[in-house]
Amino acid sequence: MPLFSVLSRRMISRLGCTAVCLFTLGITQVQAQPADTEAAAADTSNTGQRPHGQLPLQELRNFTEIFERIRSAYVEEVDDKTLLEYAINGMLTSLDPHSAYLQPEAFSDLQENTSGKFGGLGIEVGMEDGLILVVTPIDDTPAQKAGIRAGDLIVSLDGEAVMGMNLNDAVERMRGAPGSEITLEIRRKSEKELLTFTLARAEIKVASVRTEMLSGGIGYVRITQFQEHTGSELASAIEDWRSNDTLNGIILDLRNNPGGVLDAAVEVVDSFISQGLIVYTKGRTPSAEVSYSATNHTPAGNIPVVVLINGGSASASEIVAGALQDHQRAVIVGTQSFGKGSVQSVLPITEDRAVKLTTARYFTPNGRSIQAQGINPDIWVEQSEVTPYEQRFYKEADLPGHLSNPTEKESKAPEQGTAAGSNAEADPSAGLLKKDFQLYEAHTLLRGVTILSPRPEA
């Protein structure tokens, strides 16, 4: 099939007669340029610039020459359509790490990720020592019901070892049509032998917003990624807390949140501020120049907020953290964020193909670009494990013959360890705080703010 036939008419009109001559079969010979084209080339050679809209002829010659060499000499025959798709893919991936050519499967995956629905097992996974690490099973999914636990290591999928398999390939193998089955072999630290699970896939709906009420009236919000309904789900959770509980503070957890839908990030910020700029973008085209501002609908009111971030917080997460930091609306706690400050637009080409193209950079309200720099927290807290050690101090109550307390004559000092145990039972969130040091520090900070806040007069 002649390469000329795959070009769009628009591209041909831009190329002019000389370039059209290049795109014929037998491209190794190029016809001479008309005199006016040679003159134009001579004029632009002195400046190093081409007239606007003119394509570089020598590079086009190189492309068509390489294309023909591959068609005729590559060890295996490759059809023209495949070669052109390879060329498109290479052109986009060479621009930056986030631009890409989305063929049917990748385009479908992108639509699933933004909607939060897909057919799969219901586990959040990562990589550890070449194996697939189960970060957490999602509630009420095939994985959770089968007994798969956080910390399990997946060794094989349907009998094929995952060692050497990249994470994306493993995720694709675990996804599939609801009702189809897959067998996993799992290594668990507490078990000597590998465990085998055969699971039936189901439609998984990822909840992007998870909430929990911690002690002291501190609301905890975990946003795993920004989806279409993230903003409305967050606003609803805050309104429920304020109507049913005494809400003294909010912890917004954006750690390991890779981003997602820009509009959702704007809605999240809008839940905390009532006026002012949230984010703006700058690009080369007029459509890339966009700004977003807050509305007067602010469910959180003036409730104190702490935002948790780390190196896995990227893109939309950084928009939220940067906006709340610039407005001095929240204290940012954790470690420096990832630093992805570019905007990708998905441009459909056909019904099942699209181009994901970086079209702009985004900036915080104060004009800070996050690109390749990230958000620095106001309070730097590394994630770590804290193991308290036992101490025994003699108190006044231990001394023989000590004076009694006249205001609490019947009170008794608790036995060693009793108070901690009873507190854990009374507060179900104590276990979560004990396991997560950064969250514990954020909770402590908000408890201090609550204690120091003026109390309304009776």
Q: Under CATH, which architecture does the 209-380 domain have?
A: Alpha-Beta Complex (3.90)
- The active-site residue out of 208, 271, 337, 340 is 340
The residue whose two tokens read 């309070």 is 379
- The active-site residue out of 315, 317, 337, 342 is 315
3-state secondary structure at position 456: coil
User: Which two three-digit tokens encode residue 217?
Assistant: 């009236």
Residue 169 annotated in active site: no
- Compute the distance between CA of residue 257 and CA of residue 221 in angstroms, rounded to an integer: 13
CATH 3.90.226.10 in the chain: give the residue spans: 209-380
* pLDDT value at residue 112: 60
Please choose, from the candidates 121, 173, 176, the residue with its C-alpha nearest in 3D space to the C-alpha of residue 148: 121
User: Which two three-digit tokens encode residue 381?
Assistant: 């807290």
* pLDDT value at residue 428: 57
Task: Tell me the CA distances in angstroms from 286 to 245, 282, 290, 291, one per residue in order.
Answer: 46, 9, 8, 12
Beta-strand relationship, 131-137 and 123-128: antiparallel
3-state secondary structure at position 445: helix
Q: Under CATH, which architecture does the 117-205 domain have?
A: Roll (2.30)
CATH 2.30.42.10 in the chain: give the residue spans: 117-205
- Listed in order, strand segments (DSSP E) in 236-365 are 249-253, 277-283, 290-293, 305-309, 331-334, 342-348, 354-363
Sign of the C-alpha dihedral computed for residues 218, 223, 224 and 229 taken in this order: positive
Residue 315 annotated in active site: yes
* pLDDT value at residue 455: 62
* pLDDT value at residue 64: 95
Q: Along the 458 residues of the chain, how does pLDDT read in single tens digits?
A: 443 333 333 333 333 332 333 322 222 233 333 333 333 334 444 445 566 678 899 999 999 999 999 999 999 999 999 999 999 999 998 999 888 898 877 777 666 655 556 678 988 777 788 888 887 677 678 998 999 987 899 999 999 999 988 776 788 889 888 999 999 999 998 899 999 999 999 988 777 899 999 999 999 999 988 998 999 999 999 999 999 878 999 999 998 788 888 899 999 999 999 999 999 999 999 999 999 999 999 999 999 999 999 887 889 999 999 999 999 999 999 999 989 999 888 899 998 899 999 999 999 999 999 999 999 999 999 988 777 777 778 889 889 998 988 887 554 544 444 333 344 445 656 777 888 899 999 999 999 998 888 765 54
What's the Rg (C-alpha) of the chain?
30
* pLDDT value at residue 13: 33
- The active-site residue out of 152, 253, 270, 326 is 326
* pLDDT value at residue 48: 53
- Compute the distance between CA of residue 417 and CA of residue 398 in angstroms, rounded to an integer: 16
* pLDDT value at residue 150: 76
Please choose, from the candidates 52, 78, 51, 63, the residue with its C-alpha nearest in 3D space to the C-alpha of residue 22: 63
| Residue 327 CB neighbour total at 10 angstroms | 19
- Compute the distance between CA of residue 320 and CA of residue 31 in angstroms, rounded to an integer: 57
- Compute the distance between CA of residue 123 and CA of residue 126 in angstroms, rounded to an integer: 10
* C-alpha neighbours within 13 Å on the C-beta side of residue 138: 20
Q: Taking a C-beta distance cutoff of 8 angstroms, is the pair 173, 157 a contact?
A: yes
Query: In terms of pTM, does the model score above 0.75?
Result: no
